[in-house]
Amino acid sequence: MSLRIGDDAPNFKAQTTLGEIDFHQWLGNTWGIIYSHPADFTPVCTTELGRTAQLKDEFAKRDTKVIAVSIDGLEDHKKWINDINETQNTKVEFPIIADTDKNVATLYNMIHPNFSTTATVRSVYFISPEKKIQAIITYPASTGRSFTEILRVLDSLQLTAGHSVATPVDWEVGQDVIISPSVKQEDVEASFPKGHRVIKPYLRYTPQPNK
């Protein structure tokens, strides 16, 4: 059965490039992102892992831990990290799971048989501090991920988790957001003291509450 938004994020124990972890314990009370790679020493993955390392401070600002999964072993992972650091001018300091038995890939539905019975697709799971799956993005192996979009989704998830708002199309941090339909009009002024504007009764904008 595939995982869906709102499901519990499966826990597991695994060997990583930073030692053995219990996934839920490793996450602690932070947000988390777990994402998969088809294999080590592959070109697109090399750029993605390098970009993740370059964005270390951005993920830290968002109190988010990132972990990658590949079905290859630890020794290959460690050799690959050397290549990533060299070619992407960075330093990989986040863990990469050695998923040789495909346990994690199976738990997180990262192997799609119609694509490949062995290699994982490019799945990204966003996990809340409550260990719930909040968003899922899946790309084919041939398409590199947009980490601008990954950060944008993370910002939206963290904002909407704490406020009764939604983010509109192409939203970026600092732009107006949409007031949730669950907020009655008579309660809007008290709930959103920065002000609001009504386009339609169901379409009400307010400045981003946490900025």
Write out the E strands in 23-158: 31-37, 64-70, 96-98, 122-127, 133-139
Beta bridge partners of 61: none
Q: Taking Cα atoms as reference points, which of 134, 136, 57, 71 lies closest to residue 100?
A: 71
**Strand 197-200 versus strand 31-37 pairing type:** unpaired
Q: Which structure tokens are listed for 128?
A: 């809340």
Q: Give Cβ neighbours of residue 119 (< 8 Å, ≥ 6 apart).
A: 38, 39, 71, 111, 141
Instruction: Considering the candidates 27, 33, 34, 45, report the single residue annotated as catalytic.
Output: 45
186 is catalytic: no
CA 84/CA 100 separation, integer angstroms: 20
CA 23/CA 37 separation, integer angstroms: 18
CA 58/CA 100 separation, integer angstroms: 30
Q: Which structure tokens are listed for 197?
A: 């504007």
Residues serving a catalytic function are: 45
